[in-house]
Amino acid sequence: MPDVLYDATRPSDDRLLNDPSAGWFRSLSSLGRIERVKVYGPTRPGLLCSVDVTATAKHLSRTISLQLGALAIPTLRAGVQIAHGGVSLTSSEPFPVWLHWGALKVQGDVPLGRREDIPIHSSLAPVNGQSYADMTVREDRWLNLWIGQDALFAPTASGTASLPSNVYPHRDPSPGLHMDVWPYELLKKYALKYGVYYSRDSEGLLYRNGTVRSGLGMTVEEVFRSRAVGEHHGLVFIDTLDALPPHGDNLGTILIETDYAEGIFIVNAHIQFRPRGSGKSVSALSPPDEGSTSVATRIPVTLSGIHLNGILSTAGDVSYEGRPRVFGALLVEGHISPSLPSYTPIEVWYDSDFRNGMFRGLPVVFTAPGTWQEKY
């Protein structure tokens, strides 16, 4: 048996039983009492740990043993990732995404518009949920732009200008952009086990668990819509037209017009994103101060007009209309561009919990199949 990593019965560890945040121990008091919790190293390769739990109820004591694994979903270290930055815009037009609170990573040559429109990276920038459109001086504490090739700017009157300090071009191939990849097969497997899986037909209807049958089709609105803040859909995986890994011919197009959606949405299609309505106000925490991991440095903020709270990941292109706002992250394998000549960029506030692999709607750990046993 591996060495004990944690023993809740040891004097040094009884803080778990007394900690106000450990209510899950005390919530079972009406049914019985947990006498001992021991955590060991795993006995099966690839798992996280082994756990022994001894509990007593009505003078009967039992010890249960199980092993836990951890989901292998990569962390998201950027608020926006775009695989193809060469959108059909001129260098005089603004980039179609405004990002707060994190890193933006784009491959290829990227037109960024006017230099003076790039928000300044400043540790003194206010943290209040204000849109860049409403700022006299655009600034942010955490924004950095990492560009694969050239960062293209509109010409200036002098003909030359210094590169903004938070823009980093020519990252690809060396030292690299270090994009976080969410593999198709892995996310599909997790959706089938821990989330919701949808196949779809050529008419745009979605079918839960892949059961394509007359009368069972759901609209995109029905799948995405959250009626209130807190109505989280968890992991939602929408497959390609032929249920095979995405390529140019099996994506099709999905129209998202939902006023407000919460969830982790993996969409294997081109997306037209034009939310109706004004969205919802959501509570958020800013990232910790740069160089710190302390929760105490995170600032509570109310973000207004949010249309998507979570993650939107697509294997295709994204076109949009209006002023979509996102709290979470965007992952785009194709291009992102406005549908109309006159536009305001999509605005994204990065959820820094994603950097630590904390994704609401997905379990951090799971009970490994076949490991639950009653020992004595």
Q: How confident is the model at residue 12 (pLDDT cuts 50, 70, 90)?
A: very low
Q: pLDDT higher for 237 or 48?
A: 237
Q: How confident is the model at residue 214 (pLDDT cuts 50, 70, 90)?
A: confident
Output the pLDDT for position 291: 84
**In the chain, how long is the greatest CA-to-CA distance?**
85
The answer to whether residue 11 scores a pLDDT higher than 50 is: no
The per-residue pLDDT for range 89-109, each reduced to its tens digit, is: 555 678 999 999 999 999 999
Report residue 43 as tokens.
């006995």
Output the pLDDT for position 181: 92
Q: pLDDT higher for 89 or 194?
A: 194
Report the chain's mean pLDDT, rounded to a whole number: 89
Q: How far is CA 267 from the centre of its chain?
A: 13
The per-residue pLDDT for range 169-187, each reduced to its tens digit, is: 999 999 999 999 999 999 9
Sort strands 253-256 and 270-273 into parallel, antiparallel or unpaired: parallel
The answer to whether residue 38 scores a pLDDT higher than 80 is: yes
Report residue 24 as tokens.
């899950």
The per-residue pLDDT for range 21-37, each reduced to its tens digit, is: 455 445 555 677 888 89
Output the pLDDT for position 162: 84
The per-residue pLDDT for range 242-282, each reduced to its tens digit, is: 999 999 899 999 999 999 999 999 999 999 999 999 999 99
The per-residue pLDDT for range 269-279, each reduced to its tens digit, is: 999 999 999 99
Q: Where are the domains of the chain?
A: 4-72+365-374, 74-358
Output the pLDDT for position 28: 52
Report residue 65 as tokens.
């043993």
The answer to whether residue 16 scores a pLDDT higher than 50 is: no
The per-residue pLDDT for range 304-356, each reduced to its tens digit, is: 999 999 999 999 999 999 999 999 999 999 999 999 888 999 999 999 999 99
- Which of these, 255, 123, 110, lies nearest to 170 by C-alpha position? 110
Contact (CB, 8 A) for 218 and 205? yes
